Amino acid sequence: MAEVQWFPGHMKKAERMMQDSLKLVDAVCEIVDARIPRSSRNPDLDSIIAGRRPRLLILNRADQADPAVTAQWRAYYKAQGTPFLECDALSGRGVKELPRALRALQGKQGPMRAMVAGVPNVGKSTFINKVSRRKTAATSDRPGVTRGKQWVTVDDQLELLDTPGILWPKFDDPAVGDRLAFTGAVKDDVLDGEALAARLLVTLRESYPKALTERYKIVLLPEAQGWELLEACARKRGFLMAGGAVDTERMAAVLLDEFRGGKLGRISLERPTC
């Protein structure tokens, strides 16, 4: 992961754009993925905001996260005094709390403007659409769709600025890069899908073995390597190539797709404690 050159020019541009836009807003909504609330926080956002604006943390995709783990995060943020909101932008659960939460953060009356920031594909545009009950912010199931600067009027009291998703140039911890890739924040075309899928299988064997055995009907030997698990899944699915070799490339794509699509159930890859 770390060796891949994947910090594209448009992300650098986006960082500059956010820096410039900061003076136009009263607050920043940082949207994170509830399945990876730590890894999906961009460390560069701290230096972009530099304490100049209050920040509301928004745990989106709560519908895909393990509810028991999300409860741990809730307790953790409360103990830390971190203002946060938990939601599911697809169904809209929790999003209507936004104006109230921003108001509490700000402690001021009158119209407010907030910038919505976050890594690619976390649900920024979907969230904005739900809050504003419009279809103005472009959404996509691929990272990197929002490119320009987009203001969306919610009502006469609130305006939101959609921003392109940004990542940061280097992951200090390769596990962070993996988690962002598992959940779809990093574009697939810069990744080795089979290696990634193999690592996802090892991760899931550790924390959600039942999800794996139920979906793919494989035996989870503790000593099996990730690629062996991937082969086992491919065999069970009948993904064979001419000559009889298992098509692990196809299985990798299917696994990542099914994981991201929630077919393996509600899974969280990070807890406040580890």
Ligand X SMILES: Nc1nc2c(ncn2[C@@H]2O[C@H](COP(=O)(O)OP(=O)(O)O)[C@@H](O)[C@H]2O)c(=O)[nH]1
Per CB under 5 A, residues contacting Mg ion are: 124-125, 146
Residues 6+ apart with CB under 8 A from 13: none
| Run of H or E including 60 | strand 55-60
Tokens (6 digits) for 254: 């299917």
Site for ligand X in 153-182 (CB under 6 A): 165
Contact partner at residue 189 from Mg ion, ligand X, none, CB < 5 to 8 Å by partner kind: none
Q: Which of 21, 40, 42, 64 binds ligand X (CB under 6 A)?
A: 64
Contact 55, 143 (CB under 8 A): no
192: contact with ligand X by CB under 6 A: no
Which of 89, 131 has the CB closer to ligand X?
89
Stretch that binds ligand X, among 1-9, 101-109, 118-126, 167-175 (CB under 6 A): 118-126
* Burial class (CB within 10 angstroms; exposed 0-12, middle 13-18, buried 19+) of 187: middle
Contact partner at residue 122 from Mg ion, ligand X, none, CB < 5 to 8 Å by partner kind: ligand X
123: contact with ligand X by CB under 6 A: yes
Which of 165, 177 has the CB closer to ligand X?
165
Which of 165, 226 has the CB closer to ligand X?
165
Site for ligand X in 133-152 (CB under 6 A): 139-141, 143, 145-146
Tokens (6 digits) for 24: 């136009």
121: contact with ligand X by CB under 6 A: yes
Provide the 3-class DSSP secondary structure of residue 122. Answer: coil
Q: Give, to the nearest 10 degrees, the angle between helix 226-237 and helix 248-260.
A: 90
User: DSSP state, 190?
Assistant: G
Q: Strand pairing of 158-162 and 150-155?
A: antiparallel
Which of 118, 226 has the CB closer to Mg ion?
118
In angstroms, give the least distance from the CB of 119 to ligand X: 7
| Run of H or E including 84 | strand 84-86
Which of 70, 139 has the CB closer to Mg ion?
139
Contact partner at residue 163 from Mg ion, ligand X, none, CB < 5 to 8 Å by partner kind: none
Adjacent-strand bridge partners of 153: 159
Q: Cα Rg for the chain, rounded, in angstroms?
A: 20
Q: Which residues contact ligand X by CB under 6 A?
A: 60-61, 63-64, 88-90, 118, 120-126, 139-141, 143, 145-146, 165
